[in-house]
Amino acid sequence: MPRPRTPKAKAEITGYADKKRTKFENRVEPTVDEDIGSPPLWMTERQRESWRVLSDEIPWLNKSHRAHLSIAVVIHARLCANEDVGVQALNLLRQCLGQMGANPADASKAGGKPDGEGEDPANEFFG
């Protein structure tokens, strides 16, 4: 199965669009001018806080991501509240984050690499 396309907005934020300029310069994607917006009124206060956390952590989200974010927020809020969250719910959260381009595997596909210039902090303990 081929790797999903990296959205142009995500590529611009992560710097991948600069690295692969020809790949993204002619790409036409739907334009959604509205940002992710405020959490829906039906959410609890804990879920609203999760909405704010996730929308801050994933800056390329826009209005078209609201459904995925709503699903992720409900599970994320339960997880943060230390409630019992089953394997199926965690898998659904992982899938939602992946669809929104927010898991580490997606970040590495978008060119997010460590700088390699700094010293590993673990060397102090294991070096």
Closest CA to 96 of 113, 112, 120, 79: 79
pLDDT for the residue 56: 93
Residue 109, SS3 per DSSP = helix
pLDDT for the residue 85: 94
User: Angle 11-12-14 (CA atoms, 0-180°, nearest 5)?
Assistant: 65
User: Angle 64-65-71 (CA atoms, 0-180°, nearest 5)?
Assistant: 135
- pTM of the entire structure? 0.63
Higher pLDDT: 90 or 9? It is 90
Residue type, 27: R
CA 24 and chain centroid, separation? 20
User: Per-residue confidence at 120, pLDDT binned at 50, 70, 90?
Assistant: low
